[in-house]
Structure 1
Amino acid sequence: MDKNYMLAVDQSTSGTKALVVDRSGTIVARSFLEHRQIYPQAGWVEHDPLEIYENALKTVRQATKAAGIEPGELAALTVTNQRETAVLWDRVTGLPVYNAIVWQCQRTAGACAEFKQAGLEEIVRERTGLLLDPYFSAAKWRWMLDHADGARSSLEKGRLLAGTVDSWLVWKLTDGRAHVTDYTNASRTSLFNIHALEWDEDMCGLFGVPASLLPSVRSSDEIVGWTTESLFGDVSVPIAGVIGDSQAALFGHFCLEPGMAKATFGTGTSVLMNAGDRPAPAGKGLVQAIAWGRGGKATYALEAIIRSSGDTVKWARDQLGLFSDMDEMERLLAEAPTNEGVYLVPAFVGLGAPYWQPDARAALTGMSRGTGRPHIVRAAIESMAYQVRDAVELLEAQSGIPLKELRADGGAASNAVLMQFQADQLERPVAKSGTAELSALGSAYLGGLGVGFWASVEELVREYLRYEPAAEREEAERNYAGWKRAVASVIGLASAGQEGTDHKEGYR
């Protein structure tokens, strides 16, 4: 049977998607299922790993059925995933010992603050490229080891395994035969030495996460295992193209040269710039990252992380009930062609680049008696563009490379008002991908190249819709100045709050 298709699993913060991709790189079928967002208390965010796995099984089967193909026609299954979300499970029962702790979760902020106060951030950055922040995985695993029922006992018996969501899915899809991850996901844990390309024993000791729990680390294009009968019966499909979602989108955009950059407008937004074949110096506010691994060699990136972007629009829809669907949102934006001084700082789970204030909280500023639904919706949309401008200016300042254009993808990138406003704020073109699913395509491309499905990226074509700057510069700068004032007020409140806390949520 000819193997004319790739199957990509895209496990994101909001749900799990499966796409069938043909030899032209075209998506021929897709399936999507949301999973629950669990909020045990303020600032805590969890997912159910078993629900994620079951949704992966369902979407994969639905997508292949919708494409009208047999599993034997698949050249490979690829996995791209929400990155820093941490899972801890029992290798004997195959069950998680606790819910997955999501990248947004702030429960380890106190522990990270203790490390900072002890002067440990510099060595963490030197080895891993990352800041000391609750965003990353290591502190989450440590929390589970300390707090999950029976975790310490299972650890002593040698029954525990730790991984990000890619590791969890691959382990389940291979029936426990492969405990693996790739360079990109490993580099988001605070435990991986991005220079030596191996787990760092000192970092494991610092965070109290034994290296014995961690997966083996592979290149993003390697075959890491084979599916078992739990998925396709007696047909076994190679699993390759394992890569974190933001890095997958960078590859999907063909940002293959240093200085090329993209923004993925998902739950949060990752602004990622290709830095070449060695780590680029990262100043305050940026993190170093591995863009992907191919053939055992790493390509590096610089990243500015935005915690809330598309999630802000979801909040305005679901929590405030400001609109019911995207058509109504478009009508509201048309009713308020300007923000009339209203700004939303979406620090629902703190602020990321360039501020890195995990204790900051969201705020609406500049409201008057005439402020209504349209202005708040516009403020939510505009907040994404302001944060991306913050990120791009930081990347340019630190890398010394001027950005020619920004390539954009993700669900919110389908909003023309946002894309035009983004181009106006950056004063340079924004190239919006013809498909929103660049993470899934990027993992499919890497996996396909790895198994020989494609010989080179030149066989693949991407289509873009370009947005050119059109606003008066004075107006754009006035809007941005208002944003900076709004952020300053939120940071001021967070700083005042920090003075009265002793970070009691540290490690035992």
Structure 2
Amino acid sequence: MAGYILALDQGTTSSRAILYDDQARPIKTVQKPTKLQTPKASYVEQDARQIWQTQISCAHDVINRAGLLATDVTSIAITNQRESIVLWDKQTGQALAPAIIWQDRRTASYCNELAANQTIAQQVQQITGLRLDPYFSASKIAWLLKHNPNIKARISSGQIAVGTVDSWLIYQLTGGEHVIDVTNASRTLLYDIHKLEWSETLCARFDIPMAILPKVLPSDGDFGRTKKGLFAKQIPIHAVLGDQQAALFGQGCMKAGMAKNTYGTGCFMLMNIGQDAKLSEHQLLTTIAWQRSASIKRIDNLSIGQIVQSGKRMLQPPKKEMTYALEGSVFMAGAIVQWLRDNLGMIKQSCDIEDLARQVESSEEVVLLPAFTGLGAPHWRSDINASIVGMSRGTTKAHIARAALESIAFQTYDVLIAMQKDSPYPLTELRVDGGAANNDLLMQFQADLLGVPVLRPKDTEITAKGSALLAGLKSGLYDESIIEESWQGDHIFEPSLSDDRREEHLEKWQQTITRALVDI
């Protein structure tokens, strides 16, 4: 069956569109940057219009540059930056405020006040699998409503909608479908991951009217078709996944115990833990990895489509298969390199960081603590500031560059240790993706710290591929074997550091964190 999947990958710093053929191979990519705005300390915003305009522009351009027509596209897949929030008018489709991005920390004091009540903090984790942190969407929505009283007054009229970036894109693509995928819903701090519904308790806690929230669908649900005139045909949207869940799917981590780490703007390690939502006891998150709609089963030789309600002969409703994951979120990964490039001018391009870091044998005593927006898992300390320690007169920018790369690996190590305590599955390998996964120096140091092989696929932009695979499976373009067959290895980084040297590195890192906590 010939056809193509159009994957829309809306990230923190860019929008991309990638076309995949009937063998799940990427044939053309178009990418356009988006701008972050920081109008105040701790504020991180984007123009929601720009998110949409760059994304739809990429979609049209990639079809044209591939020499195809919209009629060649079987279905659309969406993957997106998670936790970021858009508030819009349903009638006009216009955003009513800047999008508040996942890195935003303006609600830190509000979350800290709530988290001080252990009962509330435990309730949040029990229901959502998450933590009370400004990273997630609920406090962002609450802030928007509180600081825009004119918007809150219009809610009763049914004109106001709120959603994560996937929801915003779907609304624009379809011309009015207000829906959200279950993986994105599970990142809002408002969704019950056990009952699979919006939590009335938490919506009331954050004073968020449930009427403004989107309808939640499975990851391979029917999200609607593109509105007439947007493309040459109305294309169905067959799959939506938050970016990290999409990477887990794209890496082929279909069995419990398999894990991946994405090195993007932030750093995100996810481990498939199967069909039970086991809550973390070591400061990690439990999140929905994906939900797939299984086929309707036959009973008593009934064919699909027949509904017989007499006696014992009844067609079972479609079963929605749920998979959960443990997640450790690191706020600053590739963003550290961007900081060295844009704020300090140490490098001209992000890819220059490896050559600069290789100019020295080690970072010596230099440690960069990248708490620019606090520390994420497993520390969850929004009150820690970034710092560089251990410098001397002999310190050069090469030492700082190497320390910056090492800080990414150190943060990942902390997450892994917590994950191993939570999971009954020992980690035997780590699959990696994202832009910084192309950095050989970083990947080797990561393997050395973890003590397990690090596997890098040929295609490190695995996020879009994950959503494309799911859309292809839903539409019938692919069969299940494509998940394993399409994963091709590029390089395996084997651990090579001695135990003593490894412990020296880890001790230096831990001392830096301890010192930062004491200084608060």
Which TM bucket (shorter chain)?
A: over 0.9
Aligned to 1:314: 338
Question: Distance between the aligned counterparts of 1:72 and 1:335, measured in 2?
Answer: 52
1:338-349 correspondence to structure 2 within 5 Å = 338-349=362-373
Deviation at 1:480, TM superposition (A): 1.3
Query: Paired residue for 1:503?
Result: none
Query: d(CA) in 1 for partners of 2:282 and 2:151?
Result: 36
Q: Structure 1: where are the runs of 5+ without partners?
A: 497-508
Question: Conserved in 2, the CA contact under 8 Å of 1:57 and 1:231?
Answer: no
Instruction: Report the Cα offset of residue 56 of structure 1.
Output: 0.5
Match of 2:507 in 1: 481
Describe the superposition over 1:258-309 as per-residue Cα deviations: whole angstroms up to 9, x where unpaired.
1100000011011000010111231131011000010122100111111110
Give me the whole-angstrom Cα distance separating, in 1, the residues matched to 2:203 and 2:108: 18
Query: Is contact 1:222–1:447 with CA below 8 Å preserved after alignment?
Result: no
From 264, 286, 300, the equivalent of 1:266 is 264
Counterpart amino acid of 1:132? Answer: L
**How far apart in 2 are the matches of 1:184 and 1:256?**
16
Distance 1:18 1:458 in 2: 21
The offset of 1:326, in angstroms, is 4.4
Asked if the contact 1:3/1:72 (under 8 Å) is kept, the reply is no
Cα deviation, residue 228, structure 1: 1.5
C-alpha contact (below 8 Å) 1:281/1:399 kept by paired residues: no
Structure 1 counterpart of 2:497, from 471, 488, 495:
471
Shift of 1:149: 6.3
Moved more, 309-318 or 111-120: 111-120
CA distance in 2, matches of 1:4, 1:310: 34
Q: Does residue 382 of structure 1 match 2:406?
A: yes
How far did residue 327 of structure 1 move? Answer: 5.3
Task: Report the count of equivalent residues.
Answer: 491
Counterparts of 2:254 and 2:98 in 1: how far apart (Å)?
Answer: 36
Write the distance in 2 (CA, Å) between the matches of 1:134 and 1:428: 33
What secondary structure is seen at the aligned counterpart in 1 of 2:230?
helix
TM-score by length of 2: 0.92
2:308 corresponds to which residue? Answer: none
**Alignment-derived partner of residue 33 in structure 1:** 32
1:386 is displaced (CA, Å) by 0.4
1:372 paired with 2:371, answer: no
Instruction: Check the 8 A contact 1:78/1:241 in 2, yes or no.
Output: yes
1:262-301 correspondence to structure 2 within 5 Å? 262-295=260-293, 296-301=320-325
Shift of 1:158: 2.4
8 Å contact kept, 1:97–1:148: no
- Check whether the contact 2:338–2:350 (CA below 8 A) recurs between aligned residues: no
Task: Report matched runs for 1:90-101 at 5 Å.
Answer: 90-101=89-100
Structure 1 segment 49-448 matched on structure 2, within 5 A: 49-119=48-118, 120-148=120-148, 150-176=150-176, 178-232=177-231, 234-295=232-293, 296-326=320-350, 328-448=352-472
Deviation at 1:455, TM superposition (A): 1.8
Q: Does 211-220 or 140-149 show the bigger shift? A: 140-149
Deviations 1:230-267 (A, max 9, x none): 531x4110012101000000000010001100000011
4+ runs of 1 displaced by more than 6 Å? none
Once structures 1 and 2 are overlaid, which stretch shifts more, 165-174 or 207-216? 207-216
Conserved 8 A contact 2:2-2:22:
no
Q: In the alignment, residue 491 of structure 1 is paired with which amino acid?
A: L
Tell me the amino acid that sits aligned with residue 38 of structure 2. Y
- Structure 1 position 472, deviation (Å): 1.9
Aligned 8 A contact 1:220 1:447 in 2: no
SS at 2:492's partner residue? Answer: strand
After superposition, what is the alpha-carbon deviation per residue over 1:439-477, rounded to whole angstroms, capped at 9, x for unaligned?
100000111111111121346421122110112221121
State the percentage of identical aligned residues.
Answer: 40
* Alpha-carbon distance in structure 2 between the residues aligned to 1:32 and 1:470: 37
Report how far residue 417 of structure 1 moved: 0.4
Of the two, which has the highest radius of gyration? Answer: 2
- CA drift of 1:3 comes to 4.8
CA root-mean-square deviation? 1.3
Could you say which residue in structure 2 is the equivalent of 1:501? Answer: none
Deviations 1:320-341 (CA, angstroms, capped at 9, x unpaired): 1111124532321121120111
TM-score normalised to the size of structure 1? Answer: 0.95
Could you tell me how far apart the structure 2 residues matched to 1:231 and 1:466 are? 43
Q: Which moved more, 1:238-247 or 1:59-68?
A: 59-68
CA distance in 1, matches of 2:517, 2:339: 21
Which residue identity does 1:463 align to in structure 2?
Q
| Cα distance in structure 2, aligned partners of 1:69 and 1:145 | 44
Q: Secondary structure at the residue paired with 2:469?
A: helix
Structure 2, unaligned stretches of length 5 or more?
294-319
